């Protein structure tokens, strides 16, 4: 920690601050600058608490932490890249993994068609929403448990592992029973009760970045899972909130690359939610691959114009197949 004192602090005030930091078990180096005194605190302790305490003291101008606030997710903790096995498929390994499927499970027929269509084009996992987080209470909220049962049957028939979102601690058990990978949606990235529950699970989790989260906050959300004992975490960048009304969100590929640099966890991108525009998705899929992503999650629907949700940003089979083709070259 580096603590800079206010201008014109007295010796006594400085000593008070040093005293307080020492109470937390740190060693102190006070450095007198031309303008102000700066205090460096070194040691191992509860940095966050100490930081908060010191910042609250009236003589302190600013307190900054030097070390990263997370531990288990960091590349310093584990230098080898983590590979997550979902059934036959390995995320974070040598292969670039594409997960695809419709926004919501609408019917057995629709999801079965989707599974076949995306598998044919090279997707390795099937996505499909059973519980849908919707901005309005009047929008379609998903088929719920019925959708989970449909997904189970589709997996049995096609062999495709399933990724699907869990919205609440109440549903963790039932979702975990039916799917291979549980998705935490962007709106729930800081639903800490949910993260803690998923930390106790021994199943892969796909953790989406909140549209207003820094890379650091995203990694700290993942830290909740690893600290709870679940190491099978895949990070997913899906666009951050920005000001241009012509794009749904801003796909932050540099943030994705930074997360992959700071952490050993696999990182994938979701260009469908990031752009909200079908015509930009293929280019952004290729860009994510080029930026070092370990994979993608893409919305694909057998008949986008008749999709119940997200049709605007869903690819149909021919454009998905074409996109996959261009990525192989």
For residues 89 to 128, the per-residue mask of contacts with a copy of itself, x marking binding by CB under 8 A and - elsewhere, is ----------------------------------------
Query: 6 or 149: whose CB is closer to a copy of itself?
Result: 6
Is the distance from CB of 73 to CB of 225 less than 8 angstroms?
no
Query: 170 or 325: whose CB is closer to a copy of itself?
Result: 170
Cβ contacts of 151 within 8 Å, gap of 6 or more: 105, 111, 126, 128, 130, 162, 164, 178, 179
Query: Which span (112-120, 152-160, 173-181, 206-214) binds a copy of itself, by CB under 8 A?
Result: 206-214
Joined tokens for residue 14 = 């400085």
Q: Is 242 a residue that touches a copy of itself (CB under 8 A)?
A: yes
Q: Tell me how far apart the alpha carbons of residues 251 and 171 are, in angstroms, rounded to a whole number.
A: 29
Q: Is 44 a residue that touches a copy of itself (CB under 8 A)?
A: yes
Number of Cβ within a 10 Å radius of residue 175: 24
Q: Is 317 a residue that touches a copy of itself (CB under 8 A)?
A: no
Residues 209-238 that bind a copy of itself (CB under 8 A): 210-212, 214-217, 220, 223-224, 227-228
Query: 43 or 158: whose CB is closer to a copy of itself?
Result: 43
Q: Is 145 a residue that touches a copy of itself (CB under 8 A)?
A: no
| CB of residue 8 to a copy of itself, shortest distance in Å | 9
Strand 267-269 with 295-299, pairing: parallel
Is the distance from CB of 222 to CB of 233 less than 8 angstroms?
yes
Query: Which span (31-39, 83-91, 94-102, 174-182) binds a copy of itself, by CB under 8 A?
Result: 31-39
Q: Which of 2, 145, 174, 321 binds a copy of itself (CB under 8 A)?
A: 2
Three-state secondary-structure class, residue 127: strand
Query: 149 or 312: whose CB is closer to a copy of itself?
Result: 312
Q: Is 290 a residue that touches a copy of itself (CB under 8 A)?
A: yes
Query: 45 or 122: whose CB is closer to a copy of itself?
Result: 45
Q: Is 324 a residue that touches a copy of itself (CB under 8 A)?
A: no
Query: 82 or 313: whose CB is closer to a copy of itself?
Result: 313
Three-state secondary-structure class, residue 196: helix
For residues 12-44, b (16+ Cβ closer than 10 Å) or e, as one string?
ebbebbbebbeebebebeeeeeeeebbbebeee
Residue in 284, 262, 283, 270 with CA at minimum distance from that of residue 214: 262
| CB of residue 90 to a copy of itself, shortest distance in Å | 22
| Cα distances (Å, whole numbers) of residue 260 to 37, 56, 166, 180, 215 | 37, 34, 24, 23, 10
Cβ contacts of 55 within 8 Å, gap of 6 or more: 62, 63
Q: Is 57 a residue that touches a copy of itself (CB under 8 A)?
A: yes
Q: Is 46 a residue that touches a copy of itself (CB under 8 A)?
A: yes
Query: Which span (56-64, 85-93, 108-116, 143-151) binds a copy of itself, by CB under 8 A?
Result: 56-64
């Amino acid at each position: 920690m580096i603590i800079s004192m206010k201008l014109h602090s007295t010796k006594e005030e400085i000593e008070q601050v040093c005293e307080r930091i020492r109470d937390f078990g740190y060693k102190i180096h006070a450095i007198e600058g031309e303008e102000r005194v700066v205090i460096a605190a070194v040691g191992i302790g509860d940095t966050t608490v100490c930081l908060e305490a010191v910042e609250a003291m009236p003589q302190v101008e600013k307190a900054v932490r030097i070390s990263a606030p997370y531990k288990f997710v960091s590349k310093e903790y584990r230098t080898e890249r983590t590979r997550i096995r979902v059934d036959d498929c390995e995320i974070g390994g040598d292969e670039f993994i594409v997960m695809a499927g419709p926004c919501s499970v609408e019917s057995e027929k629709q999801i079965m068609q989707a599974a076949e269509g995306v598998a044919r084009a090279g997707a390795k996992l099937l996505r499909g929403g059973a519980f849908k987080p919707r901005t309005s209470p009047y929008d379609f909220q998903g088929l719920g448990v019925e959708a989970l049962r449909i997904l189970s049957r589709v997996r049995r028939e096609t062999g495709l592992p399933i990724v699907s979102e869990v919205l609440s601690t109440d549903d963790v058990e039932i979702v975990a029973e039916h799917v291979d990978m549980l998705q935490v949606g962007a709106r729930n990235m800081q639903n800490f009760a949910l993260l803690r529950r998923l930390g106790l699970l021994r199943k892969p989790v796909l953790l989406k970045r909140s549209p207003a989260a820094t890379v650091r906050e995203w990694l700290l959300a993942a830290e909740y899972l690893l600290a709870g004992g679940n190491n099978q975490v895949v990070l997913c960048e899906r666009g951050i909130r920005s000001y241009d009304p012509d794009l749904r969100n801003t796909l932050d590929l540099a943030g994705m690359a930074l997360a992959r640099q700071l952490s050993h966890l696999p990182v994938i991108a979701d260009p469908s939610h990031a752009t909200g525009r079908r015509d930009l998705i293929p280019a952004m899929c290729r860009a994510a691959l080029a930026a070092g992503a370990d994979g993608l999650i893409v919305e694909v629907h057998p008949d986008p114009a008749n999709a119940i949700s997200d049709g605007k940003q869903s690819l149909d089979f021919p454009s998905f197949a074409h996109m996959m083709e261009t990525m192989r070259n």
